[in-house]
Structure 1
Amino acid sequence: MNYLRLILFIATVCAIDISNKHLKPYDLDKIVGLHEVTTELETPPSITKSVWYLNIYDSQDKDGKDKMDVENCPEDSQICGITEVLLNGKDPVVSEVVAFSRNLKPSIEANDNNVTVQLTGAYWGKQSISADIVFECSKDGDYDKELLELVGWNRQQLELRIKSKAACTSDNKGKKDDKHKDKDNDKDGKHDPDSDGSWGWFTWFFILGVIGFAAYIIGTAWLNVSSRGSSNEAFSEFFDAVVEVLSRIPGFLKELAGKIFGGSNRGGYSAV
């Protein structure tokens, strides 16, 4: 499949936690940490400087930092933007602070070339704001942490981008021991051909055994009838033998169904 597109809505307390199972196929663990991007705009007689911070962390790493350790940014921020006004000979004046809490529940959109994490439900004052963080696959270069780019910010919608190898799917992740999964409690939701085959042979032997037993009972009764002639007593014995065989058929069918369906009624896993 040349183009795979998935939209996954994830109930999680952390916006960009790379331990999330939906981010596991990617190498985002290579760029864990605090990223920042700076822009400056001349606004004579001042300069307006904006710095955006993005915190990517792994909740399974005991040394991982889920708090935003940046002055003027709320600690629970996953994304934070600080705007300062710079004047010659004076201390910088913070004019804007925009923050996206790590408690926001994200949606993730993934395809062959990138992963987009979308955050909604944040507010800047009374203004509702949202953010898209695009992790774009780039197979060139090393895993460099200084990769954050500001694509756009219009005071309602923020778009950040990281172009890195880390956004490429790992060929090795999620594929280890696949050939053994069927023999390990059907972790991939499929049955072992060998196992199904063994149940098939057993079932056929069981069926043939019951048929042989029924044939023996009926045949023996028939021989008794033939040797005694057509007396009422002989016919009664034959009739009783047939009834006995028929009475055992429901139990046989129940046991057969248990053998056939009991071993195959195993649950697989859900992709999401």
Structure 2
Amino acid sequence: MLSQTLNSLLTLCVLFQLSSALHCDQEGLAAYRLQEVLKDIKSKTFNTDTPPSVSTFTWYLNLCGTGDQDFPDPECPKNSQICGVKSVSLPGQSPIKTEIITLGNGLNYQIEESTKEFIDLKLDDTNWGSNTISSNFHLVCANEENIDVSFNDNTLKLTLSTPGACLKEDKEHTPPPPPPPPGSDDSWGWFTWFFILGVLFTGGYIIGSAWVGRGSDEFQDAIHDFIDTLKSLLANLPEFIGEIFNKVFGNSGNSGRGGYTSV
């Protein structure tokens, strides 16, 4: 009985440690790309001149990853979703770590506001020595990533611009087909008109020749023959244009692909 209880407790501890900081794939955050983009540890370093020293504050973010990932700084516990390490460097001396701030994965959070452009989160307060830290996350939908962290008066504010704060693409709607090359419709229209004008000119020439060199009966027959021929040409015109289009553009497309393959 005791061994079963210990095993159950061990299992709970493992599950707690491997749980992500934010439930990025659940509840109100599942509609965003957070889990896809923020599953790895990210960092940002801020340097400040504090003569005669230089202060360096490095923040590590593990918002949607599991708690089994090692932070680059060994001072950061594995089960942290945010870890900040401040160090001070004096000329000719090794840096001294003066502050270590961590927010554990077990903190609850509330979604204060969420739109297609941003997400505002507020985390439960956490202890930092004898102090209490309050935390607010402002996640902004952006193509390029940028991290900004401020820590003043025991208040931590994270502003993270990231594609992860953007809504997922709607898989139900397929993207529209690409537009045709510029000028392709105009050039094809000119060719069609040129063909039609050529047919009319040829027909006019035939009718005129019949009028000049033959009698009225032969002229009427020529007109009827021309009308029948014109109807036949117009009926077969779409198929004729399609064949020419396939031969011209189809062959050029195959030639381009063949050349690319040979390279």
After TM superposition, the score normalised by the length of structure 2 is: 0.52
Query: Which of 102, 111, 122 pairs up with 1:108?
Result: 111
CA separation in 2, counterparts of 1:92 and 1:171? Answer: 46
List per-residue Cα deviations over 1:103-142 (Å, max 9, x = no partner): 111112313321122212211111110111211122xx3x
Is 1:90–2:89 an aligned residue pair? no
Distance verdict in 2 for CA 1:74–1:65, change over 3 Å? closer
Is 1:25–2:31 an aligned residue pair? yes
CA separation in 1, counterparts of 2:161 and 2:102? Answer: 22
| 3-state DSSP of counterpart to 2:164 | helix
CA separation in 1, counterparts of 2:76 and 2:41? Answer: 13
- Alignment correspondent of 1:262: none
RMSD: 2.5
- Higher alpha-carbon deviation: 107-116 or 154-163: 107-116
Kindly state the Cα deviation for residue 21 of structure 1 after the two structures are TM-superposed. Answer: 3.0
Query: Which of 63, 68, 81 pairs up with 2:84?
Result: 81
Aligned AA for 1:45? Answer: P
- Alignment correspondent of 1:223: none
Contact conserved, 2:83 with 2:100, CA < 8 A, in 1? yes
Kindly state the Cα deviation for residue 168 of structure 1 after the two structures are TM-superposed. Answer: 1.5
Distance verdict in 2 for CA 1:67–1:21, change over 3 Å? farther
After TM superposition, the score normalised by the length of structure 1 is: 0.51
Kindly state the Cα deviation for residue 82 of structure 1 after the two structures are TM-superposed. Answer: 0.6
- Alignment correspondent of 2:55: 48
**Larger Rg over CA atoms:** 2
- Alignment correspondent of 1:166: 164
CA separation in 2, counterparts of 1:154 and 1:133? Answer: 15
Kindly state the Cα deviation for residue 52 of structure 1 after the two structures are TM-superposed. Answer: 1.1
- Alignment correspondent of 1:153: 151
Contact conserved, 1:16 with 1:56, CA < 8 A, in 2? yes
Query: Runs of 5+ in structure 1 lacking a partner?
Result: 1-11, 177-272
Aligned AA for 1:38? Answer: T
Query: Runs of 5+ in structure 2 lacking a partner?
Result: 1-15, 174-263
Distance verdict in 2 for CA 1:155–1:36, change over 3 Å? farther
Aligned AA for 1:118? Answer: K
| 3-state DSSP of counterpart to 2:32 | coil
Identity of aligned residues (%): 27
Kindly state the Cα deviation for residue 157 of structure 1 after the two structures are TM-superposed. Answer: 0.8
Contact conserved, 2:60 with 2:84, CA < 8 A, in 1? yes
Distance verdict in 2 for CA 1:58–1:39, change over 3 Å? closer
Query: Which of 1, 10, 21 pairs up with 1:15?
Result: 21
